Structure 1
Amino acid sequence: MSDAFTITDEQQDYSQYDLNANPFPYSPVPAEDPEIYCGQQHVSDKISSTVSSMLSTGKSKHLVVTGKYGNGKSHTLKYTRSLLRDRDDVVVGYVAQPGEGFLDIYHEFVYDLGFNRLQELAYEFLASVARDITDTNPIGASGMESLIDDGDVLLSEIVPEAIRRLSDVTKFADFARAIIHMVYEDTNLYAWQWLTAEGIRYEQRKEMEIHSALDDDTMGVRAFTALKNMLLELGYTGIFVFVDEFESIARLSPKDEQATLNSIRHLMDQNSSGLCMLFGCAPEVWQDVMSEYHAFSERIGEEVALKPLTSENLCELVRDYLDQERVTSAENEGIDPFSEEALDLILQRSQGNIRQVLSMCSRLLDDATESQENKITTAWVEEKL
């Protein structure tokens, strides 16, 4: 009896199309750091204006990016995030969806920053204190860590003053203690759990002299504001928060939805500088938010809508993906092996939905490769789709 199917790790050969590989994703989910952004100019302009305004003035500014499922909201947010991550004067965090309330948003944001980044910030703050009260001049987190590891600076010498200063800056003594405990080997995991709002036992809090639990939306707003104020004290321009799939708040009870929106509104009210929030949201949910929760929607003020792809957008998108895997110079290759007429049909079938376009192109290119087709034509697309 022959095998029912064959599994192999042998890659397909796309050399007949001058390609190293199929550049289109098999599962068109946005990459963590997208290299390609086929933007619509009005969207790019609005996002650039919002981000640049905060960077240049320090004043908080917020934006909602709307668009139907598959039209590129997540891709847009992740692409913008990837550009900002290259800067050393801001802290950037991504929230995949708002969860059950603001505390979940806070948790996901801090978790996206990561343990190591938060520990670096703790060392940076200690360095700023050490420069003032010791004869040392540590540069950055690594410089401070080295001085402590070498015994040139004793934690007992600078920690009390660091906690005092950070408490003054953040107006949140428990947050200050948790941040400073990120540098202690025996308590840094407890500190991390407290700072991410995962919850720790009373005994663990007592060991760090932390008196409160970070367990509700009000405390989440307070901790978020404390983190931002610490960053401004360290010389950062501010925080960028990307909240994706914001439409999922519509599945919450009316009470929980209002509580979540109120908490975000309070966060914005308490942070007139150093905060930029970008939301990705389905248009129908955002319309409901604007009509029912004026106090929240007025804080954001601006919305930009992603529209379905046009024929020109589609050609540019396909060309950019193909160029990633071109064996030789892509100068004259364009959209080959796709014909313009084939792309028009793909556009028609997908109704300009980017996710569907990428999925179709990926499948059609593989099918054409297996069948040794010279060109992906309208007839071929009609047959396969």
Structure 2
Amino acid sequence: MIYDLIIIGGGAAGLFAGASLPQKINGLIIEKSASPGKKLLMSGSGQCNLTHCGSIKDFLSHYGNQGKSIRSVLYQFNNDALISFFNQRGLPTIAREDGKIFPKSMKAQKVLDCLTSLCKENGLSLITSSNVIALEQDEKSNRYSVICKDQTYRSKKIIVATGGCSYPTTGSDGSFFSVLTKLGICINPLRPALAPIYVEGYPYAELSGTSFDTVKLQIRSKEGKKIAERSDSLLFTHKNLSGPVILNSSRFAVSGSYLQIQYVPSLSKEELFGLLREKHDGNQKQLLSVLQELLPLPKRFLEVICKRLSLSANQKFSQTAGSDIKRLADLLTNDTYRISRLEEFNKSMATSGGISLSEVHLKTMESKRFPHLYFAGEILDVDGDTGGYNLQFAFSSAYVAAQQI
């Protein structure tokens, strides 16, 4: 049998490609895992953050350096179109105050059920626990052979949606990149994205679970050049730094570069020093009490800050030397660390790197060198911020590819 379409990968992008086909076809989805959509079920802590509110123009800045390149993909099937797609198919959505869009049920399983049902309606059969080990093109007919361990399938058209390397236990383990490399397709270096960051001399293990609503963060090169700057929430874990401000900046973090945190983003070092100096003379309150009154920061964190500077949190503020006040102001506005590494793929939400966008016609998602071979989702060198941006790209690229079938 020669299929009209084979989709390699039964994750978010692969299933959405099948669900959004313009007409019923004779097709096949080949999934490596025992069941489809495992990573989709994990998204949004099981609630499935589908996309984000706002103008699609504002999405472009949430994909790092690749945002402008994928404009045509996102514009062809934007966040409003995605919301309408699900609403019209019996899956209503809701918007949270933070702009994140979820299914009204707040259950990722409902999204998976919807997509698998639509794939079936569109004529696609699903094969699970089947690992594709090779992909071959018949140049005369432009048809493809999809070679699995125990079976070979033939198809007129192929959509590759095998994902990246993050959460490999879901089947998204990056093994298909070697298949593409054998075809000569350029794969940009793979590294974790949306990942916690490890720093040298991490001092906040005892504050694991402590979070800040907003801090200002900068990533600087080894030479001190500013690479990225962002304001968002921060989380201390037992071993590393996390939270949206870290995860969304991790694409710019490399070993040996520097991370700088400003815990009170509304105040510069000089402004904070001046504020503390105003309260200094004759102040009989404890150092910790003064810091708590002036700064919207957790008490335990301020105690650790004092400890790091070898200051007693209980000493009278009037007895705190001016040089120590300067050190406090500097640490709270310029806490700088050398980055040692990112978290591994098994604890990273996305993958940076993948198929170079120069390999793809971004208006159709078709390979520039292999006719009727299409790509969608995280297998491409695109990684977005937290908040639904990665799923939006997966859905948008899958939709664009599906319209070519």
- Which TM-score band applies after superposition, normalised by the shorter structure? under 0.3
More strand by share: 2
TM-score, normalised relative to structure 2: 0.22
TM-score, normalised relative to structure 1: 0.22
Higher relative contact order (CA 8 A, sep 6+): 1
